[in-house]
Amino acid sequence: MALPMRGHARLRIILTSFCRVAGIRRCSTTSNDTQDDAFPKRIFSGIQPTGIPHIGNYLGAVTNWVRLQEASQQDEVIFCVVDMHSITLPQDPQQLKNNIYDMVACLLACGIDPKKSILFQQSAVQQHAELAWVLGCITTMKRLGHLPQWKTKSAKRREGVCVGLYTYPVLMSADILLYKATHVPVGDDQIQHVELTQDIARVFNNLYGNFFPRPQVLFSEVKKVKSLRDPSSKMSKSDSSHLSRIELTDTDKEIHMKFRKAVTDFTSAVTYDPDRLGVTNIINIHSAFTGITPDKICDDVKNLTTAEYKKVVADAVIENLTPVRDEITRLQQEKHYIEDILKLGADRARTIAMETYNDVKKLVGFL
């Protein structure tokens, strides 16, 4: 059932004003705004349980999730730990379970509030897989083959490439459409997947009527955090060097050490220059954690060398992350609490998912 028009207007105003204040851009390839207004506004996003997030995850995704949560009402924002996506690569079962707990602990510590948003584990809601099958049956192999992620990941695994690695974008579309999400906060590297979701929704709607919204992208203006060891690449958990990233549970000593060893160049002055990838990356991190503009930072530290400036940035990061790190450590000892949060979230998510999928079954002829 659609929200009253006042509900549409309220969340549209929230999204517009929030995006302007928080530095989040709205992006959509949908040209028909009237079609979009036919659905209640709802935000969905997921994160893989890769263990403790790094500051790239924190700045690029999680802090924005918290802001969106605070600007919305209950059940308008849904966050999912997408454990089904993680098994497209080999996983140790016990490690995966631990990673799920760690990810939930981190999200809670960062400010995700299960009373204000829905937080749950993907595999606990079976309708994700069921809807993915239906959507896979209307998606062509040619369309999936065009996705750059498939080309990149399959090239790295020439032997034993699994079917799931090829079809997981359809599952991602099912994740979004199962809740009839109208807005999806993602990074730049995931825009193609949201565009695929828009395409799948269009195909389904052409076959069965105007059932799914075509979700819009919400993504942050925060500069993408780069690797501390290779500033031409983004910060990533898959990087073999632990020095490449700052994780949310790193100690003060580890943070200082990683910034001290961060790759810069042979110029000692601190300048915001796109040709100086390493220094620019560190300035962007400093700016994201403090809210100070890069130009103001450079003016403030003009008498410091790059080595001295790295210590300033490390101190700023430590100041911001210490309460988060302490809360993560506490929550990691409360596994029963995390299990309760996930169960409650799955129950709430399942209520929405069952309604959507039951309607899908009627439309396609299962019922």
- The enclosing H or E element of 318 equals helix 306-331
- CATH assignment of the domain containing 274: 1.10.240.10
Is the pLDDT assigned to residue 161 strictly greater than 50? yes
Please give the structure tokens belonging to residue 346.
Answer: 């799955």
Identify the domain containing residue 256 by its residue range. 242-331
The confidence band for 99, taking pLDDT boundaries of 50, 70 and 90, is very high
237 is annotated as an active-site residue: yes
Is the pLDDT assigned to residue 203 strictly greater than 60? yes
- CA 84 – CA 358 distance, rounded (Å): 22
Alpha helix positions (H), 146-293: 148-156, 163-177, 191-208, 252-260, 277-290
Q: Say if 349 falls within a structural domain.
A: no
Q: What is the pLDDT of residues 10-61, one digit of tens each?
A: 444 445 444 544 445 555 444 444 456 678 899 999 999 998 999 999 999 9
Neighbour count for residue 301 (Cβ, 10 Å): 18
Q: Say if 362 falls within a structural domain.
A: no
Between these two residues, 8 and 197, which has the higher pLDDT value? 197
Question: Into how many domains does the chain fold?
Answer: 2
Residue 65: CB partners within 8 Å, gap ≥ 6?
45, 77, 79, 107, 112, 117, 185
Backbone angles phi, psi at 276, to 5 degrees: -105, 80
Residues 108 and 256 grouped into a single domain: no
The confidence band for 222, taking pLDDT boundaries of 50, 70 and 90, is confident
Residues 176 and 70 grouped into a single domain: yes
Residues 30 and 96 grouped into a single domain: yes
Residues 148 and 267 grouped into a single domain: no
- Quickly count helices (H) and strands (E) in the chain: 16, 6
Q: Say if 45 falls within a structural domain.
A: yes
Selection from 39, 117, 56 nearest residue 81 by Cα: 117
Of 116, 237, 335, 361, the active-site residue reads 237
Of 41, 180, 226, 234, the active-site residue reads 234
The SS3 call for residue 3 is coil
Residues 127 and 23 grouped into a single domain: yes
Is the pLDDT assigned to residue 300 strictly greater than 80? yes
Residues 113 and 13 grouped into a single domain: yes
Selection from 88, 90, 67 nearest residue 77 by Cα: 67
Burial class of residue 365 in the structure, from the number of CB atoms within 10 Å of its CB (0-12 exposed, 13-18 middle, 19+ buried):
exposed
Q: What is the pLDDT of residues 315-327, one digit of tens each?
A: 999 999 999 999 9
CB 165 within 8 A of CB 85: no
The confidence band for 155, taking pLDDT boundaries of 50, 70 and 90, is low
Backbone angles phi, psi at 44, to 5 degrees: -135, 140
Selection from 148, 228, 223 nearest residue 192 by Cα: 148
Is the pLDDT assigned to residue 67 strictly greater than 90? yes
Instruction: For the chain, give the mean pLDDT.
Output: 89
What residue type is assigned to position 219 of the chain? Answer: F
The confidence band for 248, taking pLDDT boundaries of 50, 70 and 90, is very high
The confidence band for 6, taking pLDDT boundaries of 50, 70 and 90, is very low
pLDDT for residue 25: 54
- CA 60 – CA 186 distance, rounded (Å): 9
Report the predicted TM-score, pTM, of the whole model to 2 decimal places: 0.88
| 198-227 average pLDDT score | 93
Is the pLDDT assigned to residue 88 strictly greater than 70? yes
Q: Say if 355 falls within a structural domain.
A: no
- CATH assignment of the domain containing 34: 3.40.50.620
Q: Say if 233 falls within a structural domain.
A: no
Residues 66 and 202 grouped into a single domain: yes
The SS3 call for residue 217 is strand
Between these two residues, 28 and 246, which has the higher pLDDT value? 246
Residues 210 and 266 grouped into a single domain: no
pLDDT for residue 55: 97
- CA 82 – CA 47 distance, rounded (Å): 6
Q: How many degrees, rounded to 5, is the angle at CA 313 between CA 311 and CA 315?
A: 70
Selection from 156, 168, 225, 224 nearest residue 193 by Cα: 168
Q: Say if 110 falls within a structural domain.
A: yes
Residues 220 and 261 grouped into a single domain: no
Q: What does each C-alpha distance from 34 to 8, 18, 207, 298 come to in angstroms? A: 12, 22, 20, 46
Neighbour count for residue 91 (Cβ, 10 Å): 14
Residues 116 and 202 grouped into a single domain: yes
Selection from 162, 161, 170 nearest residue 141 by Cα: 170
Of 116, 153, 335, 361, the active-site residue reads 153
Q: Say if 357 falls within a structural domain.
A: no
Selection from 212, 168, 209, 208 nearest residue 192 by Cα: 168
Residues 85 and 157 grouped into a single domain: yes
Residues 125 and 189 grouped into a single domain: yes
